[in-house]
């Protein structure tokens, strides 16, 4: 949610930021509605003061056994006016929130301006693309040939964009997640959390998924929604709370299934595991003081990169431009892993600084020097487990259709060298 004082003071700048995020100029409409709301509030306060004064007068007249009919009629008249102003204030507040809740975050000054992913900016890379003396296969060819990846039965059970993993592929997914959680908790300083997979609408509102992105979510009814990422419950752990300064920085992680309708992805990546309605991910979330959020983003990015380095998987990091960045973020790095079977880079993690955007929606603050200030929130994948499995299958495949096991994962397979 945006700071209305900032919009009032910087309308042109705000409109320019929104234009860079693909939105139309909106500041004047916001300012006009806010003015009507504040005028209603002022008039309401004045009428309430008048009513209080009249009530005192009536009390005095009655104590003196004097007539107060005229004053009581005035109170009745004020009551009607007060109720009308309360309704107007509520109406204008709802109008204002309806607009503000659908506007994306203001980009950081270091975020490149651009219209789409073609204008994202290279940040850095690591490792080398593997070379093969055969034509590398895509992950689904490897998995299906081993009879350990089944899309047909999954479609029979649940429809498109689902998969069943069997045997050592199922074990590989579990091993990847265990490795990630162990690294993030024992070395990177995150505290593991087991969180609900169902959350209420107000939780999704606080983290920015609702109301704008309802079509991308699955609802379970009774005001419950399936989480599209563990970012939601982790970030909202302290909604409507005031934290102590000694609780920050707060770094938490969770391994969960994620559920997305992929409403905007019709026809994209229909083959294989790249884009699923259900997938697993290890999420990283940080709550920090505002002055530390930029450094925390770099730290989070390094933690996510460290997993790929340990797995010896080549990747690049891209700084997303304003037109490709997510709704909540003011700056985002995408880590893209190399997939030789597909012969292209694919996103495996997004690490984002959301500033105080989510904290304002959630009303999460911290106390410092007797002042309550909104915290800054950050989130990132550390990593997407299914896409990490895909990357291992394609980068570690052998000519005979087998897959070598990365050294750091061999302990989960009794030190075997190959997967099949």
CATH number reported for the structural domain that contains residue 312 in this entry: 3.30.930.10
Residue 249 lies in a domain: yes
Do both 95 and 147 map to the same domain?
no
Domains identified in the chain, total number: 2
The closest of 300, 293, 308 to 366, measured between CA atoms, is: 293
Residue 194 lies in a domain: yes
Residue 410 has which token pair? 């061999």
Do both 219 and 342 map to the same domain?
yes
The closest of 391, 400, 406 to 129, measured between CA atoms, is: 391
Query: Whose structure tokens read 């982790």?
Result: 234
The span from the CA of 61 to the CA of 78, in Å, is 19
Residue 106 lies in a domain: no
CA atoms within 13 Å, Cβ hemisphere of 93:
9
What single DSSP character describes residue 418? B
Do both 85 and 126 map to the same domain?
no
Do both 32 and 128 map to the same domain?
no
Do both 21 and 77 map to the same domain?
yes
In the chain, which stretches have pLDDT less than 50?
A: none
What is the H or E stretch that residue 70 is in?
helix 69-100
Do both 169 and 301 map to the same domain?
yes
Residue 401 has which token pair? 């259709």
The span from the CA of 58 to the CA of 78, in Å, is 14
User: What pLDDT does 132 receive?
Assistant: 97
Cα distance between the two ends of the chain: 50
What is the H or E stretch that residue 307 is in?
helix 293-310
Residue numbers annotated as active site:
260, 275, 347, 350, 387
28 close to 21: Cβ distance less than 8 angstroms? no
Residue 216 lies in a domain: yes
Query: Whose structure tokens read 């301006």?
Result: 113
Question: How far from 162 is each of 38, 159, 399, CA to CA, in Å?
Answer: 51, 7, 28
Do both 197 and 67 map to the same domain?
no
Residue 265 lies in a domain: yes
Query: Whose structure tokens read 């959301």?
Result: 354
What single DSSP character describes residue 136? P
The span from the CA of 254 to the CA of 268, in Å, is 28
User: What is the extent of the structural domain holding 138?
Assistant: 117-413
User: What pLDDT does 346 receive?
Assistant: 98
User: What pLDDT does 270 receive?
Assistant: 78
Residue 137, φ and ψ in degrees, nearest 5? -90, 160
The span from the CA of 378 to the CA of 262, in Å, is 23
Helix, strand counts (H, E) of the chain: 12, 16
- The CATH number that applies at residue 32 is 1.10.287.40
Do both 304 and 355 map to the same domain?
yes
Residue 90 lies in a domain: yes
Do both 124 and 48 map to the same domain?
no
User: What pLDDT does 206 receive?
Assistant: 97
Cα-Cα-Cα-Cα torsion 101, 107, 108, 111, nearest 10 degrees, comes to 150
Residue 154 has which token pair? 């999954």
Do both 219 and 93 map to the same domain?
no
Question: How far from 11 is each of 55, 109, 383, CA to CA, in Å?
Answer: 43, 17, 39
Residue 334 lies in a domain: yes
Domain boundary among 100, 129, 162: 100
316 close to 347: Cβ distance less than 8 angstroms? no
Cβ-based neighbours of 94, under 8 Å, separated by 6 or more: none
The DSSP bridge pattern shows strands 315-319 and 219-221 to be: unpaired
Domain boundary among 34, 67, 100: 100
Domain boundary among 31, 65, 100: 100
User: What pLDDT does 264 receive?
Assistant: 65
Do both 58 and 196 map to the same domain?
no
Do both 147 and 67 map to the same domain?
no
- Most distant pair of Cα atoms in the chain: their distance: 106
Residue 419 lies in a domain: no
Q: CB burial class (10 A; 0-12, 13-18, 19+) of residue 230?
A: buried
């Amino acid at each position: 949610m945006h700071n209305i004082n900032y919009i009032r003071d910087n309308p042109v700048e705000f409109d320019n930021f929104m234009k860079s995020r693909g939105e139309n100029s909106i500041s004047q409409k916001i300012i006009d509605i806010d003015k009507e709301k504040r005028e209603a509030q002022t008039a309401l306060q004045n009428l309430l003061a008048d009513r209080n004064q009249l009530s005192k007068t009536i009390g005095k007249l009655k104590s003196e056994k004097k007539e107060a009919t005229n004053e009581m009629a005035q109170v009745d008249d004020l009551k009607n006016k007060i109720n009308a102003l309360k309704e107007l204030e509520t109406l204008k507040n709802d109008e204002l929130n309806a607009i503000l809740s659908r506007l994306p975050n203001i980009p950081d000054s270091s975020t490149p301006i651009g219209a789409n992913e073609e204008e994202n900016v290279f940040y850095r890379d690591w490792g080398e693309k593997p070379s093969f003396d055969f034509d590398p296969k895509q992950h689904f060819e490897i998995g299906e040939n081993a009879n350990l990846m089944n899309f047909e039965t999954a479609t029979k059970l649940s429809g498109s964009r689902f998969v069943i993993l069997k045997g050592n592929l199922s074990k590989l997914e579990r091993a990847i997640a265990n490795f990630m959680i162990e690294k993030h908790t024992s070395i990177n300083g995150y505290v593991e959390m087991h969180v609900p997979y169902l959350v209420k609408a107000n939780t999704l509102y606080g983290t920015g998924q609702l109301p704008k992105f309802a079509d991308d979510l699955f609802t379970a009814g009774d005001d419950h929604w399936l989480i599209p990422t563990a970012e939601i419950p982790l970030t909202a752990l302290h909604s409507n709370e005031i934290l102590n300064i000694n609780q920050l920085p707060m770094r938490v992680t969770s391994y969960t299934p994620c559920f997305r309708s992929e409403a905007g992805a019709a026809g994209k990546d229909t083959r294989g595991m790249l884009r699923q309605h259900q997938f697993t991910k290890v999420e990283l979330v940080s709550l920090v003081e505002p002055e530390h959020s930029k450094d925390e983003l770099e730290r989070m990015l390094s933690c996510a990169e460290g997993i790929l380095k340990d797995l010896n998987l080549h990747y690049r990091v891209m700084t997303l431009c304003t037109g490709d960045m997510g709704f909540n973020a003011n700056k985002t790095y995408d880590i893209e892993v190399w997939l030789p079977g597909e012969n292209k880079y694919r996103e495996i993690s997004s690490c984002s600084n959301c500033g105080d955007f989510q904290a304002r929606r959630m009303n999460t603050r911290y106390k410092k020097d007797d002042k309550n200030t909104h915290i800054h929130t950050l989130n990132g994948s550390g990593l997407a487990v299914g896409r990490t499995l895909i990357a291992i299958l394609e980068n570690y495949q052998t000519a005979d259709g087998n897959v070598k096991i990365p050294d750091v994962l061999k302990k989960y397979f009794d030190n075997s060298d190959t997967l099949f």
